[in-house]
Structure 1
Amino acid sequence: MKSLIAASMAAVLMTGTALADTTLKLVEVITSPERTETLRGIVKTFEEANPGTTVEIISLPWNEAFEKFATMYSAGEIPDVMEMPDTWLALYGTNGALEDLEPFLKDWEHTADLSDRALEFGRQVGGKTYMLPYGFYLRAMFYNKKLLEEAGVAEPPKTLDDFEEASRKVSALPGKYGYCLRGGPGGLNGWMMFGASMAGTDQMFKEDGTSTFADPGWVKGFAYLIDLYRNGYAPKDSVNWGFNDIVAGFYSGTCAFLDQDPDALIAIAERMSPDDYGVTTMPKGPDGKTFPTIGFAGWSMMANPADKELAWKLIATLQGPEGNIAWNKRTGALPALTSASNDPHFATPQFEGWFNELADPDAKPLSMPTYLEEFAFFKDSLVIKTSQQALLGEITPEDLAKQWADYMTAAQQKWLANKK
């Protein structure tokens, strides 16, 4: 009997040890050496607080992440927690692949600290919290204080009319220009923001799938941007500028305005005094609204993790104030926690511009239709070619709008048909 009891106790102890020693898998998809290093540091904090638990970090290169993760998922190699881009949320959230985090949020001590935008975006799919956004990539307007003062511009522009007038005045200075136009790769954001703000809506499609790009409001917005360039309010060679070019154009003092995400601050802050520039809300259109483009990413729990409570604790560590702030300092995103604005890194006049924009009810973040498989070609090929033609006067704003509308209408109607 004694030996039976001893054997039973040993079995219980062994079972307890097996339960305690748990390995969680965490997939990182927007990968860089700096991000991975930061992630390891936050994960180490989690492991120290949960003895017996190990986190295996799987880092996928971003340019191959979508295909690689889909392959992993199809093969049953499913992680417990993953970094979820906004463009993947609907795909995995609608097929039962993700856990709803709402039950955990009810008792989490930092739920009240999550911004309204974070909760709104995290609940996009069926009203369930399939993701906790860790931060936002939101466009706002950088402005050069010295150039505005030299040009006689009293304050940063609040409207599109103000922006055009300020750009005109700065461009009258020798060798200076108003706007750092991104006419080359990655330039779609500018066209969408000016188009939507002039149109007074971010709706890109009608109910039947017809694109709105050829509607008068959108065309007027496209023409506005073309006129800025053709009137000499942007550098002539900006028709070919990409990210590095526009950021350099701003910190070198070539142009007074730049629309960009917070990640541009890294290069700008290294080269400009914080007293010489500011960040403000994107200029508003005729109806008093503006539509800055936004992207976001966050943490999701995959369905049926190895240990649901531990998986949540890992997300809570990543998303809590210490983890969230440390992570976003390296990623260049705006933190999802309202308390982050008190951190010295974010409590600057420059970051205040983005927090003010997020809180402005008339600044509605605009999301791209990345659910369309044709969107990549549209963004990286068709838009660049046709927008450069329009900037150079080879086609009219109406021609530009029609080509975009025709292409996107076909893509959206195909997507709608496949949903039936």
Structure 2
Amino acid sequence: MRRFLTISLVFFAVVFMFSITLTMVETITSPARTELLRQLLDEFEKAHPDIKVELISPPYESSDQKLIMMLNTKQKVDVFEVRDNFLAIHANNKNLADLTDFATSWSGWDDLLDLTKKAATKIDGKVYYIPYGFFIKALFYRKDILEQNNMPVPKTMEELYEYAKKLTSPSENKYGFAFRGGSSEHSFSEIVIMSYVPNIDPNPDRGYLTTDGIPYHDTPGAIEGLKMWINLYRDCSPKDSLNWGWAEQVNGFVSGMTPFLIQDPDTVPIVERRLGDSNLYGVAPMPVGPHGKVYLDYGNAGWGIASYSKYKKEAWELIKFLSSPEVNARFSKLNGTIPNCKSAFSDPYYATGPYKAWYEELTNPDKYVFYERPVHMPGFPAYAEKHKNDIQNIILGRKNLNEAVKEWADFWKKEYNLAK
């Protein structure tokens, strides 16, 4: 017995001596999300008894600043959350390890969605992180209201306008469309506007340019698309939606006042909870423009490794675990994101119901063209505010439409150094 205890103590001492601790930092923090992530890390530790993971979860409001400070001062960080709008900052600061060799020799690489690979390699074609999921717009619709009106789901922007207009009866407080006129309106209006442009350049860092190398804003198609967006407001939406944000859009949809809603996948669980019946609504791929396609921007986040980590091999094992189809699907369900790999869609939760619409968008690249809105460029915040104000003023008759689109185009000519 004494000999057995001695051997056991020696064994555990050896395991402890050779175990390492990875420090992981998440930034999109919430209590429920942190709890699930900790559960997943516990499972990883059980499968890798020589690796422990310390999870750091700063308050959401200051999490990105906290992470940047930790990285720039070379505090212990091995794995950290990489948000798309901070990717360039981390790369420029040389705080991200190049994972290309790890990724290309990983059996799971081929299972990743094409969009996952595109996002992962957007900096110089090298892999600096593995995205865990995406935020992409799709069309929410009230099944019950469409059925009552013997109306199909719109497949084109023209049909969206036509059906929304038919559903609109202001005297009954009924409207067809949940217009987004307030904060971040460009994320919605530009989907409709750009769908009328035949040749948006989908390549990274080309943002708002056409394949002819000019800003799209004052092209004939864009002007037609802008008029369609304005008509969706004037003929199909509540007057106060000129200032609506996310909450007002969702309220209008859930109440049945506005049966068509453009939103991201994280809206699904909220809509289901508030409606209380998943049969009352559906989600369809975004309607396409007159050229048979629609351009979709995407948001994402993922996991990267600190460039100065002493445990890159072990950190990669953790990223592989979190990126495996089963674990990624579990994480995405709570996170409200679209999973990063094809096989995750074999899960009935994603293969049927509302998420099927996003899979169709992700797997039909000729119809649903993903591009990157130039949010990284210095002038973007000013443009976004101007775009919102200009559209409101066009609708209110305070600004000329042709004047506005020329100003937008001139703005981006300067940003892209195209001005003569």
The alignment's TM-score, normalised by the length of structure 1, stands at 0.87
One-letter amino acid matched to 1:393: G
Secondary structure of the structure 2 residue equivalent to 1:133:
strand
Identify the residue that residue 112 of structure 2 maps to in structure 1.
114
**Cα offset for 1:303?**
1.9
**Cα offset for 1:237?**
1.1
Q: 397, 408, 414: which is aligned to 1:410?
A: 414
1:370 to 2:368 alignment = no
One-letter amino acid matched to 2:341: L
Aligned 8 A contact 1:84 1:300 in 2: yes
Identify the residue that residue 234 of structure 1 maps to in structure 2.
237
| 62-71 vs 325-334, greater mean Cα deviation | 62-71
Q: Distance in 1 between matches of 2:232 and 2:198?
A: 19
Identify the residue that residue 357 of structure 2 maps to in structure 1.
353
**Cα offset for 1:181?**
0.5
Identify the residue that residue 200 of structure 1 maps to in structure 2.
198
| 382-391 vs 209-218, greater mean Cα deviation | 209-218
Q: Distance in 2 between matches of 1:52 and 1:188?
A: 48
Aligned 8 A contact 1:251 1:272 in 2: no
Query: Over the residues paired in the alignment, what is the CA RMSD in angstroms?
Result: 2.7
Q: Distance in 2 between matches of 1:48 and 1:223?
A: 58
Q: 240, 257, 265: which is aligned to 1:254?
A: 257
Q: Which runs of 5+ in 2 are unaligned?
A: 1-10, 202-207
Cα distance change of structure 1 residues 216 and 54 upon mapping to structure 2, 3 Å threshold: same
| Percent identity over paired residues | 34
Identify the residue that residue 5 of structure 1 maps to in structure 2.
none
One-letter amino acid matched to 2:270: A
The alignment's TM-score, normalised by the length of structure 2, stands at 0.87
1:264 to 2:267 alignment = yes
Q: Distance in 2 between matches of 1:60 and 1:369?
A: 28
Q: Distance in 2 between matches of 1:281 and 1:397?
A: 29
Cα distance change of structure 1 residues 169 and 39 upon mapping to structure 2, 3 Å threshold: same
Q: Which runs of 5+ in 1 are unaligned?
A: 1-12
Identify the residue that residue 188 of structure 1 maps to in structure 2.
186
Q: Distance in 2 between matches of 1:15 and 1:96?
A: 37
Q: Distance in 2 between matches of 1:56 and 1:118?
A: 27
Secondary structure of the structure 1 residue equivalent to 2:403:
helix
Aligned 8 A contact 1:176 1:255 in 2: yes
Identify the residue that residue 386 of structure 2 maps to in structure 1.
382
Cα distance change of structure 1 residues 406 and 88 upon mapping to structure 2, 3 Å threshold: same
**Cα offset for 1:206?**
6.5
The superposition leaves residues 64-109 of structure 1 with CA deviations (integer Å, 9 ceiling, x where unpaired) of: 4443333322212252111111122233335643233333334434
The superposition leaves residues 280-323 of structure 1 with CA deviations (integer Å, 9 ceiling, x where unpaired) of: 11111111110123111111122242212210111112111232
**Cα offset for 1:63?**
4.2
**Cα offset for 1:15?**
11
One-letter amino acid matched to 1:401: V
Aligned 8 A contact 1:23 1:53 in 2: yes
Aligned 8 A contact 1:151 1:169 in 2: no
**Cα offset for 1:19?**
6.0
Cα distance change of structure 1 residues 70 and 206 upon mapping to structure 2, 3 Å threshold: farther
Q: Distance in 1 between matches of 2:98 and 2:414?
A: 34
Aligned 8 A contact 1:132 1:300 in 2: yes
Secondary structure of the structure 2 residue equivalent to 1:24:
strand
**Cα offset for 1:171?**
1.3
Q: Distance in 2 between matches of 1:81 and 1:208?
A: 41
1:171 to 2:168 alignment = yes
Identify the residue that residue 343 of structure 1 maps to in structure 2.
347
Q: Distance in 2 between matches of 1:350 and 1:129?
A: 31
Q: Distance in 1 between matches of 2:362 and 2:28?
A: 23
**Cα offset for 1:39?**
1.4
Cα distance change of structure 1 residues 280 and 266 upon mapping to structure 2, 3 Å threshold: same
Q: Distance in 2 between matches of 1:208 and 1:61?
A: 45
1:89 to 2:94 alignment = no
Cα distance change of structure 1 residues 347 and 207 upon mapping to structure 2, 3 Å threshold: closer
One-letter amino acid matched to 2:250: V
Cα distance change of structure 1 residues 303 and 34 upon mapping to structure 2, 3 Å threshold: same
Aligned 8 A contact 2:103 2:127 in 1: no
One-letter amino acid matched to 1:67: Q
Identify the residue that residue 9 of structure 1 maps to in structure 2.
none
Secondary structure of the structure 2 residue equivalent to 1:42:
helix
The superposition leaves residues 106-164 of structure 1 with CA deviations (integer Å, 9 ceiling, x where unpaired) of: 443433332222122211222222111111100000112222233342x2111111111
Secondary structure of the structure 2 residue equivalent to 1:298:
strand
Q: Distance in 1 between matches of 2:140 and 2:278?
A: 12
| 13-22 vs 98-107, greater mean Cα deviation | 13-22
1:68 to 2:76 alignment = no
Identify the residue that residue 298 of structure 2 maps to in structure 1.
294
Aligned 8 A contact 1:295 1:367 in 2: no
Identify the residue that residue 157 of structure 2 maps to in structure 1.
160
The superposition leaves residues 230-286 of structure 1 with CA deviations (integer Å, 9 ceiling, x where unpaired) of: 2x2111111111101111111111112111011111121121532222111111111
